[in-house]
Structure 1
Amino acid sequence: MAGYRELLRTPGVARIIAAQLTARFPNGMTSLAILLHIEQVTGSYGSAGLVLAATSVGQAIAGPVTSRWMGIWGMRRVLTTTLVICAAAITALALVQVPLPVYMLLGLIAGLSTPPVQSAVRTIYPKMVNSRQLTPLFSLDASLQEIIWIIAPVLITFVSTQVGTVQGLLLVVVILIGGGAWFILSPEVGRVRIPRSRRSFGKVLAKPPVVLATVTGFLLIGACAAVEAGVVATFGHGGLEAGLVLAVFSVGSLAGGLTFGHIPIGPWAMARRFAVVAAGLALTMFSLNAWWLGGSLFLAGIGIAPALAVMFTMTSASVKFSETAEAFGWIGTGQLIGAAMGSAVAGFLIDGVGPQGAYWAATAFAATGFLVSAVFVRGFPDLRGRDSSPIPDTEPVPTIT
């Protein structure tokens, strides 16, 4: 913990972490708020699912695109433009009465215009700390984001069910604007300039570490999404146990990130972390008792934030600074697709064999992540004793001869 205290005393670090967490807080609220609102307006969970799917497709498409735009037009301009459009689209979802296709269009626009805060802040981090502090900073970031997934769903469910779904969506807009403005006005956002990438869009995926980070992120978040579906199916939507068990899962991730985030990253780091996640998830298949599930998921959670930290650090160390935002955008897209796939597979298995099917799916996702990490271990960089900052962008310098 002494290392984290030193890290947070670095000028600007504590402020930028708090600002970006607030700006990203709506990420844990928007999907649930849209689902509850559209279901109430249309009376159909199927319609709500279609609007939610349109939103998710928009987010997946936008990730690498808007992240790359930050190197062309600047972070503040892109963040501000997307923030205004996203806030307007969610406000319209809350206030207008329109046919389902129009709701889907508004959801798509909200997804496409989701501000790329995550890509922006992970591009800024290497410019704020020295290379020794970068891995712990990525680990701290991955750990603290669990706060979003612990508090945000509870808050939006309470507001939407006890006050109203319109008020729930408007609360998302208020936090989106307030948190987004705080982050955009942070000095570091204006100070860090991303150079324009000279490579064509998507070429960053030619880097093996970026592809591996995207694939392992897909598998890790797929496992988490399957767990969430399984826990809800086990205890029911209104079961207090579901919220508590998922909170324990997130607490395990928070604890793992804070405890192991300082460990140097070698080629086998990802495989070891996936082994912890897979082992914990495998234990869930023995019993659906709340205490057993809580203990198993706490163990599985210990590997999640450290695994995310490996993804972010190895990506940062493997690409040029001008490519970092786009690279993180692709990783985010992989995670979004993983969440959708994990939920879908778990849903089919729950319908077919019961809640146990979701835990089978989660274990399969995590075990596949371990196998990918082990088989392609040569593609993971050895960052022990190495600078994990992005590769500097260089260009010819004219000389007088």
Structure 2
Amino acid sequence: MLGAPYVARLLGGTLTGRLPNSMAPIGILLWVTGSGGTIAFGGLLAALYGLASALSQPVKGRLMDRRGQRSVHLPSAVLNFALLAALPVAGPHGGTTLTATIAVAAGLTAPPLEAGLRALWPSVLPEPRIRHAALALDTGTQGLLHIVGPVLVAALASAYSPSVALVATAALGLTGTLVVATAPPSRRWHPRPAQSGDGAARRLSSGPLVALFVALLGVGVALGALTVWAVSMARIHHADILSGLLPAAFSTGSFLGGLVYGRRTWPVSISLQLRIGGAAFLAGWLPLLALPGPHTAAAAVMLPGAFLTVVVATAYVTTDVLAPADRTSEAYAWLILSIGVGQAAGTAFAGSLSEYALTLAVLPAAGALFALTVLTLARPGHSPGPVGRHRRRRTGVGARPLTPYPPQGAQHPSAFPSPPIGDLPCPKHQQSRS
């Protein structure tokens, strides 16, 4: 898979360009405190940056679907670089209002590289088996950003200064984005045109898609609660290193899970993989209820980390199936936003309950249980809804299909019911039916 044309370049450039997602909040906090500001104000700026970046994802995804990737990536990267580099220069002279404005603007202009990469895989890797491996590796390596990024920005701030660390963060984001945006697949990429003039076929508010995004809120809650739980474990056991070690063990599990999951195409439907992954993700959190010691906890969190990759990778495939053909980037951006919002809610909720060790250990499992419950109970296929580009089949216009998949030449694809999340085919079986 890595030997296929442009794959290593796109994956490496995206990971490099997304390093500011984990580096910038910490770099901003270090810069504020190093300049004599309070931790509270630094934390506020870091939160504003992350929130602005997350909330603007669907807008940038929609722009990519309309104007292509290059016209969004390049201006975003240049503006993000300029704003992050200007923060240590303008901040001391402009006061808190200007500093907060720059931080928010920098977050708003963060390039949507993750959604863009997911949209590129079908054109770069047309073979489903290889694309499955790419998606699994792509998802599994995301956790490494949250290991490498904080360590790198802290090392730069310690060796030089927080201002240098911020500029280096901005430079990495610009460099990675340029690597991706100048690659031929990104330059040539355009979304497929809509298959029908029917407005219903262009909506992202279909029952299956909304149910998926709601379920991913629970996944985000588990991730956000993990961070606070790790800090609580560090305080209980008087070992500060646990606050970084436990999330690092979780991310390592995610990376290893991606390698295992991507090695083969599993002989069950994508939707069943999604529910199995959700059940295993929930089961992986249950050992924490026994309040294990540090070493046992570090080993235990690798299990839900491994199945996080299965859940997220299959969620992307499900989104690809259900989303309208001309709005895939925006759909991926909503998926990213759902996890991000859930993560912020989980962090806030866990922070308010940080004095209760058992409650903190329960919260990740509660988020995973919510996700699994939504995926299991949601049966949106009973009502008409939009269809994705992988489910059109060749039969007469308006004819009642023998399977849940609409005809390839149908004039009104929204006239056919969307399949429930439990009936989506896996890519290998989809190819064989075609």
Category of TM-score, reference length = shorter chain? 0.7 to 0.9
Pick aligned residue for 2:346 from 334, 339, 342: 342
Q: TM-score, normalised by structure 1?
A: 0.88
Aligned to 2:164: 167
1:117 maps to what in 2?
Answer: 113
- Is the CA contact (8 Å cut-off) linking 1:314 and 1:381 kept in structure 2? no
Measured after TM superposition, the shift of residue 231 of structure 1 is 0.6
Percentage of pairs with the same residue: 23
Mapping of 1:117-196 within 5 angstroms?
117-129=113-125, 130-195=127-192
Cα distance in structure 1, aligned partners of 2:344 and 2:36? 23
1:189-241 deviation per Cα after TM superposition (whole angstroms, max 9, x unaligned): 11222256678899643233432332233221221121012112321597223
- Give RMSD over aligned pairs: 2.4
Number of residue pairs the alignment of both structures matches = 380
C-alpha separation in 1, matches of 2:228 and 2:89: 30
Structure 1 match to 2:97: 101
Please tell me whether the aligned partners of residues 204 and 327 of structure 1 are also in contact (alpha carbons under 8 angstroms).
Answer: no
- Match runs of 1:1-400 below 5 Å: 7-96=1-90, 97=92, 98-129=94-125, 130-195=127-192, 204-236=203-235, 239-261=240-262, 262-263=265-266, 264-350=268-354, 352-353=355-356, 355-376=357-378, 378-384=420-426, 385-387=428-430
Question: Helix, strand or coil for the counterpart of 1:302?
Answer: helix
In structure 2, the residue matched to 1:391 is: none
> In 2, Cα distance between the equivalents of 1:161 and 1:361?
35
Q: Distance in 2 between matches of 1:99 and 1:196?
A: 47
Q: 1:115 to 1:245 in 2, by over 3 A?
A: same
SS at match of 2:35: helix
Superposed displacement of residue 101, structure 1: 2.1
The change in CA–CA distance for 1:200 and 1:73 in structure 2 (over 3 A counts) is farther
Q: 2:152 and 2:245 mapped to 1: Cα distance?
A: 14
Q: Is the 8 A contact 1:204 1:210 kept in 2?
A: no
How far, CA to CA, are the matches of 1:29 and 1:240 in structure 2? 19
Q: Which amino acid aligns with 2:55?
A: I
Q: Distance in 1 between matches of 2:284 and 2:63?
A: 40
* Greater Cα shift, 216-225 or 360-369: 216-225
Query: 2:58 touches 2:334 (CA, 8 Å); kept in 1?
Result: yes
Q: Any stretches of 5+ residues in structure 1 without a counterpart?
A: 1-6, 389-401
- Letter of the 1:358 partner, please give it: L
User: 2:220 and 2:200 mapped to 1: Cα distance?
Assistant: 25
Q: For the residues of structure 2 that align with 1:288 and 1:163, how far apart are their CA atoms?
A: 39
- CA shift, 1:248, in A, is 1.4
| Structure with bigger gyration radius | 2
Shift of 1:16: 1.5
Residue 385 of structure 2 corresponds to: none
Distance 1:173 1:136, change over 3 A: same
- SS for the counterpart of 2:271 is coil
Q: Deviations over 1:5-24 (max 9, x none)?
A: xx223222222212211111
Counterpart residue identity of residue 6, structure 2: G
CA distance in 2, matches of 1:60, 1:331: 11
TM superposition score normalised by structure 2: 0.81
- Range that drifts further, 271-280 or 292-301: 271-280
Q: 1:168 to 1:289 in 2, by over 3 A?
A: same
**Whole-angstrom distance in 2 between the partners of 1:201 and 1:326:** 16
| C-alpha contact (below 8 Å) 2:271/2:314 kept by paired residues | no
CA distance in 2, matches of 1:202, 1:107: 37
Q: Per the alignment, do residues 133 and 95 of structure 1 end up closer, same or farther by CA in structure 2, a change over 3 Å counting?
A: same
Contact 2:120/2:189 (<8 A) preserved: yes
Instruction: State how far apart, in whole Å, the 1-side matches of 2:342 and 2:207 are.
Output: 19
8 Å contact from structure 2 (residues 24, 46) kept in 1: no
Query: What is the CA-CA distance between 1:178 and the residue it aligns to?
Result: 1.1
Measure the CA separation in 2 of the matches of 1:149 and 1:318: 30
User: Do the aligned partners of 2:204 and 2:323 also contact (CA within 8 Å) in 1?
Assistant: no
